[in-house]
Amino acid sequence: MARARVEMAEAVSDPMGALKHARDTGWLADFDFVTGVVRHDEVRSFLADPRLRANFVDFMHNLGVTSGTFYDWMAQSPLNRDGADHLRWRALMSRTFTPRSVEKIRPFLRETAHALIDVFAPRGRCEFVGEFADAYPSFGLCELIGVPKEDRDRFRGWANTIGLGFSPIELGTRIGEIDAALLQLLDYTGELAEKRRADPKDDLVSRIAQAAYEDGWDLFQTRSAIAGLVFAGHETTKNQLGWTIAVLSGRPDIWDAVAAGSLAVADVIEEVLRFRSAATGVGRTVSEPLEHDGERLEPGTPLFLSIWSADHDERAFPRPEEVNPARNGEVPHLAFGHGAHFCLGAALARAELQEALAALTARITCPKLEDGAEWKPPVGINGPLRLPIAFATRS
Task: Tell me the Cα Rg of the chain.
Answer: 21
CA 129 to CA 238: how far, in whole Å?
Answer: 8
Which is it for strands 28-30 and 4-5: parallel, antiparallel or unpaired? parallel
Give the C-alpha distances (Å, rounded to integers) separating 152 from 23, 38, 141, 157, 158: 43, 39, 10, 9, 10
Residue 148, CB-side half-sphere exposure with 13 Å CA sphere? 9
- Output the tens digit of pLDDT for each of the chain's 395 residues: 689 999 888 888 999 999 999 999 999 999 987 899 999 999 999 999 999 998 777 777 877 888 888 888 888 777 777 777 778 777 777 776 778 888 999 999 999 999 999 999 999 999 999 999 999 998 888 888 888 888 888 888 888 888 887 777 777 788 999 999 999 988 988 888 888 888 888 887 888 888 777 777 777 778 887 877 776 778 899 999 999 999 999 899 999 999 999 999 999 999 999 999 999 999 999 999 999 998 999 999 999 999 999 999 999 999 999 999 988 988 999 999 999 888 888 999 999 999 999 999 999 999 999 999 999 988 888 999 999 999 999 97
Reference 278, options 322, 315, 234, 319; nearest CA is: 234
pTM of the model: 0.91
Structural element, H or E, at residue 4 = strand 4-5
Domains of the chain: residue spans and CATH: 4-390 (1.10.630.10)
Which is it for strands 281-286 and 52-54: parallel, antiparallel or unpaired? antiparallel
